[in-house]
Structure formats: C-alpha cells, structure tokens
Amino acid sequence: MAIARVSPPAFSSPFLIHSLLRPFSSPSSVLRPRVTRVPHHRGFAIAAALSQASPLPSADGDGAVMEAPPRPSSRRPWKPTCLYYTQGKCTMLNDTLHLEKFNHNLSTDLPVNYSAADKVKSQKLDYFLVLDLEGKVEILEFPVVMIDAQSMEFVDSFHRFVHPTVMSEQRIREYIEGKYGKFGVDRVWHDTAIPFMEVLQEFEDWIEHHKFWKKEQGGALNSAAFITCGNWDLKTKVPEQCRVSKIKLPSYFMEWINLKDIYLNFYSRRATGMMTMMRELQMPIVGSHHLGIDDAKNIARVVQRMLADGAVMQITAKRQSATGDVKFLFKNRIR
C-alpha cells in the first residue's frame, strides 16, 4: 500500500482556524485512503463513497475554502467543503463542531431543478465525468464530478491533490504557497498530495468500480465521457504529464466533450470559459475560482443547467492513438 506524503509545517494563512486542528500523526501511520465499494443507482444522488484513512489531521481550517457564494434561495447557509473528506482522509466525521462548519456532501452544491426534468433530452451516454485540472507546470489537482445524464443528479466524485514529479521541493513549496495559500488550503495539499502515477491507479480503481472501464480490456470509457471546459485538459495537459511521469497515455483519455463547443452550438453564442458561461446563465459561483474541485462543481452546475434547457452532450474530440493527432468532430467550434 502506498504511503501518502506529509510535508513539513505548512505556510500560514489568514483563512486557517488553528484552534480546531488536531495534531499530526507520525508519517509511518499515514495510509493511502481505501475506496469504499458502495454501488450507485441511476436516479439517486449519492455522496462520494470514500472511507477515512487513519490517522490524519482534521480538515478544520486549511482543508476548506472560506469563500461563501451568494445563495439567497438556499434554506441552509453555505459551508465550505472539507478537502480532507473529498480525498477520503477526514478524521473528524464524528466531531459535531467540525460537521457544522464544513460540508461533507457535494450534492448540496449541485441541486437539481426537477421542474425542468421534462425538458431533458435523451442522451447517448449515461454519465458525465466533469474534469478540471489545476497546474501549469505539472498537474497539481485532479478533480472529477460525476453527473447522471438523465436525472441531472450528482452521483459521486474523485478528488486528489497531485505531487509533482520533477520539480524541486523548494520550488514545490513556493508554487503551492502561491497557488493554494491564497485559498488557505496549502496545508491540506502538502498533507495529501501523491504522485500522478498513484492518482491514476486510484482513479482507475474508481472508474472500474463504477463499471466504466476494465483494466484487462482497456479501451474507451463505457457509457460515460469526460466533460472539460476547453480542450487543454485532455488534449494537452494529461499527455504532457504522462510524458513527465514516464507512463503511457491511458486509453480512457482518448475522447472527451468540450463544453465550450456544446455551449456554442446550443445557445448560438461563444463563451471563453466557465465564468463567462455562469455570468450569461446568471448563475452564482460556488466556492473559489481556480480551486479545482470547486471549478469542477461549477462546471457540473453549468452542465446541469444546459441539460435542463434541453442540450444534448456529445463527444467533440477524439485522439486516434496515444501519440496521434486529435480529431475535432464539430465544424462550429471554439478555436
């Protein structure tokens, strides 16, 4: 079993709530999280089924983002997501105060407009896997949010912070402080980040559990597809990271849906990114922009809205082989 990385003391941040943090355990006792095999059913929203690893520090403080979006129609006050929990490493699930402060159910940020259910068109796919990577030099965060294509409901999520392969530790510390320190989540990154190869191993366990893919068979995803906001994530960044990590590009990354192209063809207007879509659709942002898991949730919310408006999600790009060129399937597309 792989050992999760634990960093030296993290950088200070105005967002941290130190009084609620439990002390660190010794590095030798930190285990990679186990995946709890909980079957999902179409039509039911299920929170991420990840067991807690024992022991690790709590998520109070830098394990969550403290920016609350406007939610005037919500009956319950918005709470930041526990980022130890999204990675299966929260040790305070029995702590009432912690549960009052932080969200442990991603479905609360992804409500469904059931009044628009009759407008949802039949989809060729059963599930959409919304992916939004973070990291310019190397991938730093790998979040996926699963949405049921017909019911529009949140089903599950996969979220890992990624430890760079070739960057020096000094550069990593500086990079993470600049990237995640402003959100107050640099400590949780250092506590939980694992190498990209391990992330893919855990992700493959996750998609195999959901019966989207089998290691023995390989090939494309079955009954599901990635949705990205642009082509960069799967056209450029994942292949780059695979080369850096010296691994072959997995077969399930060969095709995807670029939401920008679907948005352009459905609404007949261009959107340069997620923020433009949300502004045009008059949707408030949840959490913090450029925190991967929050961006993935917000893109998933746009997908829910488009499904409710009657959009059909289709594959927009395919790669013929691990080293081949990408073929774009829509004539009218964002370039």
Whether residue 62 is predicted with pLDDT greater than 50 in this model: the reply is no
Residue 318 lies in a domain: yes
Share of the chain above pLDDT 70, in %: 78
* Mean pLDDT over the full length of the chain: 83
Question: What DSSP state is assigned to residue 50?
Answer: B
CB 200 within 8 A of CB 249: no
What per-residue confidence (pLDDT) applies to 22? 34
How confident is the model over 213-242, as pLDDT tens digits? Answer: 999 899 999 999 999 999 999 999 999 999
CB 198 within 8 A of CB 100: no
Count of other CB atoms within 10 angstroms of residue 23: 7
SS3 label, residue 129 = strand
Give the residue, 174 or 48, on which the prediction is more confident: 174
DSSP 224-236: EEEEESSSIIIII
pTM of the predicted model as reported, rounded to 2 decimal places: 0.79
Q: What is the 3-state secondary structure (H, E, C) of 316-330?
A: CEEECCCCCCEEECC
Number of domains in the chain: 1
Residue 125 lies in a domain: yes
**Span 93-119, mean pLDDT?**
93
Q: Band of the pLDDT at 75, cuts 50, 70, 90?
A: low
How confident is the model over 4-41, as pLDDT tens digits? Answer: 333 333 333 333 333 333 333 333 333 333 333 333 43
Domain of residue 284, CATH code: 3.30.420.10
Q: Quote the CA–CA distance of 149 and 307 in Å, as a whole number.
A: 8
Q: Band of the pLDDT at 324, cuts 50, 70, 90?
A: confident
Residue 127 lies in a domain: yes
Give the residue, 54 or 259, on which the prediction is more confident: 259
Q: Quote the CA–CA distance of 231 and 195 in Å, as a whole number.
A: 23
Q: Which residues share a beta bridge with 148? A: 127
What per-residue confidence (pLDDT) applies to 10? 38
Whether residue 82 is predicted with pLDDT greater than 60 in this model: the reply is yes
Helix then strand then coil, in percent of the chain rounded to 5, is 35, 15, 55
Whether residue 48 is predicted with pLDDT greater than 80 in this model: the reply is no
What per-residue confidence (pLDDT) applies to 24? 34
Whether residue 69 is predicted with pLDDT greater than 60 in this model: the reply is no
Residue 126 lies in a domain: yes
The candidate with the shortest Cα–Cα distance to 281, out of 267, 262, 261, is 267
Q: Band of the pLDDT at 323, cuts 50, 70, 90?
A: confident
Residue 270 lies in a domain: yes
Rounded CA Rg of the chain: 19
How confident is the model over 264-297, as pLDDT tens digits? Answer: 999 999 999 999 999 999 999 999 999 999 999 9
How confident is the model over 143-181, as pLDDT tens digits? Answer: 999 999 999 999 999 999 999 999 999 999 999 999 999
Q: Quote the CA–CA distance of 270 and 333 in Å, as a whole number.
A: 9
Residue 154 lies in a domain: yes
CB 164 within 8 A of CB 137: yes
What per-residue confidence (pLDDT) applies to 322? 83
Would you name the residues annotated as active-site residues? 134, 290
How confident is the model over 190-215, as pLDDT tens digits? Answer: 999 999 999 999 999 999 999 999 99
What per-residue confidence (pLDDT) applies to 29? 33
Whether residue 116 is predicted with pLDDT greater than 60 in this model: the reply is yes
What per-residue confidence (pLDDT) applies to 2? 40
Count of other CB atoms within 10 angstroms of residue 46: 19
Residue 189 lies in a domain: no
The candidate with the shortest Cα–Cα distance to 285, out of 151, 276, 35, 147, is 276
| Residue 127 lies in domain | 116-165+194-328
Residue 227 lies in a domain: yes
Q: Band of the pLDDT at 54, cuts 50, 70, 90?
A: very low
